[in-house]
Amino acid sequence: MVSKAFKPVPASEIPDEISGLRMTRQRQHIYRILLQHRDHPTANDVFMRIKDTLPNLSLATVYTCLDAMVKHGIIRQVNFDRGPSRFCPNLAEHGHFHDVTTGIIHDVQFRPGIHLADVLDLPPGAIIKNVEFTLRGQLS
Amino acid sequence: MVSKAFKPVPASEIPDEISGLRMTRQRQHIYRILLQHRDHPTANDVFMRIKDTLPNLSLATVYTCLDAMVKHGIIRQVNFDRGPSRFCPNLAEHGHFHDVTTGIIHDVQFRPGIHLADVLDLPPGAIIKNVEFTLRGQLS
DNA sequence: GCCGATATCAAGAATTATTCCAGTTATCGC
DNA sequence: GCGATAACTGGAATAATTCTTGATATCGGC
């Protein structure tokens, strides 16, 4: 179960290393921003939010830090259509419900015990490494 | 049930209008290419394949024709990660299995009677308009 | 604590997919 | 056939992201 309480995360609580990736000051700040405000920000959103605390961090560095964390499995990169990539620290298998009226993106999980592969007609012999799904709609 | 036989489609078999969209010569050619070779080509792939028959069709026109057909529900636009959009004439509700070793994309459908919304923990009151899913893996 | 090796970061240029724009051409209804 | 409208073309523009090059920071061994 993923907690809904996204309380502030002091820098001190983020370790020096996660999954073999050295968590530099820049990466710690970026990661903290993702943890604190889980609204699936884009790289540019992160860049804007971090400006006050790290004024001379470049957008390119935000991109490379995010990419490094994605490659090390610390965060996930989420793409909607052709829009800019968004980033999220929820590592549980989940998809996204995109509310088209508010623009808010909600994490969505499978009901307990259910896996997408179980309900699909897959090609014979298919080995699934990774699943992504997106729903679009609205909350009544 | 969607046929697996993708036989050649003569230009004459594509009507002058589909779903209220005037099927011009360019659109007919583009649509035929999608019907004949269902490998989820990008706009540029379509552009390359059409060059022999319509040598002075511009890439911009390929984009606008594909877009018009997507807007009229004649074809579907599919996005994988941040790669270029791909297009497919299969209108049945389906997702995609991306074989990472061959690069081939297979259409995948739900088992009869199953809908993604039934197996998910959705936010209360969610009205789903559209579903997309992608699996990545390989065929053993 | 100092030093070389390595990893990380910054800033701007380059790339890729896509869209826009302005002018031309084709098609439709009369 | 004629004017109105829609479609098409080719080149320029845009947005997100990646690349490149040089500068900085960090680590392990002494």
Interface test mutation site (partner A, options B71, B116, B128, B136, max chain A beta carbons within 10 A): B116
Distance from CA of B13 to the nearest CA of A (A): 31
Distance from CA of B100 to the nearest CA of A (A): 10
Residues of A in contact with B131 (CB under 8 A): 133-136
Residue A66 has pLDDT above 90, yes or no: yes
Residue B110 has pLDDT above 80, yes or no: yes
The minimal CB distance from A134 to the residues B123, B132, B139 is found for: B132
pLDDT tens-digit map of A68-104:
999 999 999 999 999 999 999 999 989 999 998 998 9
Strand-pair partners of B21:
B18
Q: Where are the domains of chain B?
A: 11-88, 95-137
Which whole number is the average pLDDT over A114-123? Answer: 86
CB A70 within 8 A of CB A107: no
pLDDT tens-digit map of B61-87:
999 999 999 999 999 999 999 999 999
Average pLDDT, chain A: 89
Give the model's confidence band at A116: pLDDT under 50 very low, under 70 low, under 90 confident, else very high.
Answer: confident
Q: How many beta-carbon contacts under 8 Å exist across A and B?
A: 125
Distance from CA of B66 to the nearest CA of A (A): 15
Residue A48 has pLDDT above 50, yes or no: yes
Which bases of chain D come closer than 7 Å to a protein CB? 6-12, 15-20, 26-27
pLDDT tens-digit map of B5-51:
566 666 558 898 999 999 999 999 999 999 999 999 999 999 999 99
Residue A33 has pLDDT above 70, yes or no: yes
What confidence score (pLDDT) does residue B4 get? Answer: 53
Q: What token pair was written down for A109?
A: 């999980």
Distance CA A12, CA B6 (A): 60
A104 in B contact zone (CB under 8 Å): no
Distance CA B28, CA B16 (A): 8
Distance CA B119, CA B96 (A): 18
What confidence score (pLDDT) does residue A2 get? Answer: 47
Strands A105-110 and A95-99: antiparallel
At the topology level, CATH places domain A11-88 in Arc Repressor Mutant, subunit A (1.10.10)
